[in-house]
């Protein structure tokens, strides 16, 4: 597809000439660089509670953001009206960051290479609403059927179809169509009317609706959520203090996102405020650890054909055999530090300034058998599932909350334990990784990452790993 057939050209009559004019306006007071980000997003959501479809919502939001960079300064403005006068006004406001003569030379806009990591013909957002409601209802039925102790089920299904167009003063012209869908199931169970326990599960990605019919069905997510709630009914108090911790494969990869991922975002490092600042080439993890951030995996929630600054996403090695290799760059940071772009400039919407962000962050598989790893632990904690996490990138201290974990006693998983927070220090914690399994698994596709008030979808993954020392926040 060429620009003239693209969404914004055909639906809103936006021409190359318009884009060039707006970019000139943005650089009318000088500045080194300007870009335009057009966004049109249609969303739908369904929520089922007490087996009733209590809400069905859909809507659209559209707008354009204009950014001007002058040295290390950024000016930003946006408009939710795509008329030329409104865009011009936004460009004039963003231009105020610079103060000098207009920048006259213009690089002609050139369309970027086309690839499609999510070749979705009909996005879930474009399918019959009724089909999506029926999928969500199947999850409700399956969760209730799993066990008589299940007494409360909430299912939510949400999808979106985002069209973006990026035009920059250094000649980038890129557009993309980004489908996304997610199903979540939340279950409460109790034993003989006693205290309830919760379980949740969910997943999705940049797929057609068929994904939920053939690959990961509503029943799959429902059973998983119900299973977790039932397991928790027998949970005992979690241990407190330093333990040997084994992380199961998949979602526990949120460890990497918190312990190293955020700390390697180039904005923090350029400013010298990250615990990882100035440590490229140093040992920051055990030699068993190789961590990558890869925005190019087909269909994944964190994947993008182009980032929100018009650069192609790529596979970036962050840590190789324990050695820190690189940071995640956005345009501003790569300009200032004269580093190659990594395709990591992302933003929540047209109302937001892009920042370096993660895509799909995971550790490569090792050689150990997962069973052997568990057998190697005399006494410790096995974490199968987590809730969220967060990090203080300056001190490097991070936490993540275990939602399903078990005591390891004499190399065997014994009792499930109650929810507990695990805490560690980024550049230190991963030095204690002593075993890495061969069972790399990516998460199911539910991750949402927040940074400075902006949320973007991401993915994580990890094989089974043993960490010899980590503090567990239990009470026992």
Partner 1 sequence: MLSSEDLPELARDVIRQAMAAGASDAECTISEGDEFSVNVRMGELETLKDAGSRGAGLRVLIGKRMGASYTSDLTADGIRQMVRSAIDLAALTTEDPFAGLPDPEELGSIGIDLKLFSNETADLATEQRIEMARRGEAAALAFDPRITNSEGGSFDSNVGSRIFANSRGFLGSYRSSSCSITVMPVATQGDSMERDYWYSHARSSAGLEDAASVGRKAAEGAIRRLGAVKVETQRVPVIFEPRTARTLLSSLCDAVSGSAIYRKASFLAGKLGEKIADERITIIDDGTIPGLFGSSPFDDEGVPTRRTPVIERGVLKSYLLNSYTARKLSLRTTGNASRGITGNAGIGHGNFFLEAGTRTPEEIIRGVKNGFFVTELIGSGVNIVTGDYSRGAVGIWIRDGELAFPVAEVTIASTLQEMLNGIGEIGSDLEFLSSVSAPTIMIGEMTVGGR
Q: Which of residues 163-222 bind partner 1 (CB under 8 A)?
A: 188, 195-198
- Minimum CB distance to partner 1 smaller for 139 or for 440: 139
Report the DSSP pairing between strands 355-356 and 345-346. Answer: antiparallel
**Contact with partner 1 (CB under 8 A) among 15, 80, 101, 106:** 80
Q: In the complex with partner 1, which residue's Cβ is closer, 53 or 280?
A: 53
- Give the DSSP letter string of 88-143: HHHHHHHHTT--SSPP---PPPEEPPP--SS--SS-GGGS-HHHHHHHHHHHHHHH
Name the token pair of 409. Answer: 């006693």
Restricting to residues 336-395, which ones interact with partner 1 according to CB under 8 A?
A: 351, 353, 387-392, 394-395
Selected range binding partner 1 among 156-164, 321-329, 419-427, 431-439, rule: CB under 8 A: 419-427
Give residue for tokens 């052997």: 372
Is residue 62 at the binding interface for partner 1, with CB under 8 A as the rule? yes
Bridge partners of 461, per DSSP, are 362, 442
Site for partner 1 in 261-290 (CB under 8 A): 271-273, 275
Minimum separation from the CB atom of position 294 to partner 1 (A): 26
Query: Contacts with partner 1 in 31-60 (CB under 8 A)?
Result: 45, 47, 49-60
Query: What span, in angstroms and rounded, lies between the C-alpha atoms of 471 and 424?
Result: 7
CA torsion sign for 382, 384, 386, 392 is positive
For 131-156, b/e burial (b = at least 16 CB within 10 A) is ebeebbbbbbbbbbebbebbebbbbb
Site for partner 1 in 225-244 (CB under 8 A): 238, 240-242
Query: Could you say whether residue 397 binds partner 1 (CB under 8 A)?
Result: yes
The helix or strand, by DSSP H or E, that contains position 183, with its residue range, turns out to be: strand 172-189
User: Is residue 471 a contact point for partner 1 (CB under 8 A)?
Assistant: yes
DSSP character string of 425-441? EHHHHGGGEEEEBS--E
Q: Binding residue for partner 1 (CB under 8 A) from 6, 79, 361, 464?
A: 79
The distance of closest approach from Cβ of residue 246 to partner 1 in the complex, given in angstroms and rounded to an integer, is 18
- Asked if 232 contacts 199 with a C-beta cutoff of 8 angstroms, the reply is yes
407 near partner 1, judged by CB under 8 A: no
- Looking at 21, 127, 152, 376, which residue binds partner 1 (CB under 8 A)? 152
Q: At what angle do helices 218-232 and 129-146 cross, to 10 degrees?
A: 30
Q: Does 161 bind partner 1 (CB under 8 A)?
A: no
448 scored as a contact of partner 1 (CB under 8 A): no
Please give the residues from 302 up to 341 whose contact with partner 1 meets the rule CB under 8 A. Answer: none
What is the C-alpha end-to-end distance of the chain, expressed in Å? 61
Based on the shown chain and the rule CB under 8 A, indicate whether residue 127 belongs to the binding site for partner 1.
no
Binds partner 1 (CB under 8 A): choice among 14, 34, 87, 97: 97
- Taking the complex as a whole, the smallest distance from the CB of residue 211 to partner 1 amounts, in Å, to 21
- 121 CB-side CA count, 13 A: 1
- Cα atoms in the Cβ-side hemisphere of radius 13 Å centred on 9: 16
Span interacting with partner 1, options 13-21, 125-133, 158-166, 321-329, rule CB under 8 A: 125-133
Q: Compute how many residues bind partner 1; rule: CB under 8 A.
A: 77
Closest CB to partner 1 among residues 152, 314: 152
């Amino acid at each position: 597809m060429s620009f003239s057939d693209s969404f914004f050209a055909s639906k809103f009559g936006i021409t190359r000439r318009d884009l060039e004019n707006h970019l000139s306006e943005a650089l009318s007071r000088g500045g080194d660089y300007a870009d335009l980000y057009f966004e049109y997003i249609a969303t739908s959501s369904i929520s089922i509670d007490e087996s009733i479809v209590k809400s069905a919502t859909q809507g659209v939001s559209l707008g354009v953001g204009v950014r001007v960079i002058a040295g290390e300064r950024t000016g930003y403005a946006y408009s939710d009206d795509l008329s030329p006068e409104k865009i011009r006004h936004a460009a004039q406001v963003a231009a105020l960051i610079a103060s000098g003569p207009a920048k006259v030379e213009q690089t002609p806009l050139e369309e970027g290479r086309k690839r499609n990591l999510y070749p979705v013909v009909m996005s879930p957002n474009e399918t019959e609403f009724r089909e999506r409601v029926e999928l969500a209802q199947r999850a409700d039925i399956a969760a209730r059927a799993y066990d008589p102790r299940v007494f409360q089920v909430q299912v939510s299904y949400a999808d979106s179809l985002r069209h973006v167009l990026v035009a920059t003063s250094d000649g980038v012209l890129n557009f993309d169509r980004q489908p996304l869908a997610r199903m979540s199931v939340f279950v409460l169970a109790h034993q003989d009317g006693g205290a309830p326990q919760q379980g949740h599960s969910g997943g999705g990605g940049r797929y057609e609706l068929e994904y939920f019919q053939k690959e990961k069905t509503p029943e799959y997510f429902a059973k998983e959520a119900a299973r977790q709630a039932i397991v928790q009914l027998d949970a005992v108090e979690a241990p407190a203090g330093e333990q040997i911790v084994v992380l199961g494969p998949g979602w526990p990869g949120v460890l990497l996102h918190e312990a190293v991922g955020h700390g390697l975002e180039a904005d923090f490092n350029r400013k010298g405020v990250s615990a990882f600042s100035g440590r490229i080439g140093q040992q920051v993890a055990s030699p068993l650890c190789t961590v990558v951030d890869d925005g190019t995996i087909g269909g994944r929630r964190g994947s993008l054909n182009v980032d929100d600054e018009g650069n192609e996403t790529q596979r970036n090695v962050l840590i190789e055999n324990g050695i820190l290799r690189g940071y995640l760059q956005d345009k501003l940071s790569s300009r200032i530090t004269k580093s190659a772009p990594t395709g990591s400039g992302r933003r929540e919407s047209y109302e937001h300034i892009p920042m370096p962000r993660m895509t799909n962050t995971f550790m490569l598989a090792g050689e150990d058998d997962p069973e052997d790893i568990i057998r190697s632990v005399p006494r410790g904690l096995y974490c199968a599932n987590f809730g969220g996490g967060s990090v203080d990138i300056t001190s490097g201290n991070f936490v993540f909350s275990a939602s399903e974990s078990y005591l390891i006693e004499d190399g065997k998983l014994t009792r499930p334990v109650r929810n507990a927070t695990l805490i560690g220090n980024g550049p230190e914690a991963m030095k204690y990784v002593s075993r890495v399994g061969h069972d790399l698994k990516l998460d199911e596709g539910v991750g949402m990452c927040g940074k400075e008030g902006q949320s973007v979808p991401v993915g994580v993954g990890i094989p089974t790993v043993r960490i010899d020392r980590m503090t567990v926040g239990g009470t026992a």
